[in-house]
Amino acid sequence: AQCGLSVAPEFQHKGIGELLMRILLETARNAGYEQMELEVVSSNTKAVNLYKKLMFTTCGTIQRGMRYKDGTYADLDIMMCRLD
């Protein structure tokens, strides 16, 4: 399964992202998926640390994987979590 999620800045640091990820993981597990995959901006250390806390591991990096409106780029980490 693949997932994506974001939390509006005014609601960050309240545990909402972790709760949503735990629900997504449990839902995927119950649906019979064997792993969850996602991409996260490499420099987003708070998100990367959350995913690691939830047992995601980094599988690789896509250099310049995202382009911002101002023309700058960010690398994306590919992360996965085994569900079995």
- Confirm whether 4 is domain-assigned: no
Q: What is the pTM of this model?
A: 0.90
Domain membership of residue 53 as a residue range:
9-82
The predicted structure's pLDDT at residue 61: 98
Beta strand extents in the chain (DSSP E only): 35-41, 57-67, 73-82
Q: How many domains does the chain have?
A: 1
Residues 13-40 pLDDT 10s: 999 999 999 999 999 999 999 999 999 9
Does residue 75 contact residue 63 with C-beta atoms inside 8 Å?
A: yes
Exposure string (b/e) for 27-38, b if CB count within 10 Å is 16 or more?
Answer: ebbeeeeeebeb
Residues 33-84 pLDDT 10s: 999 999 999 999 999 999 999 999 999 999 999 999 999 999 999 999 999 8
Q: Which of 74, 2, 7 is nearest to 47 (CA)?
A: 7
Instruction: Return the ∠ at Cα 55 (arms to 14 and 4), rounded to 5°.
Output: 60
- Confirm whether 39 is domain-assigned: yes
**CATH classification at residue 58:** 3.40.630.30
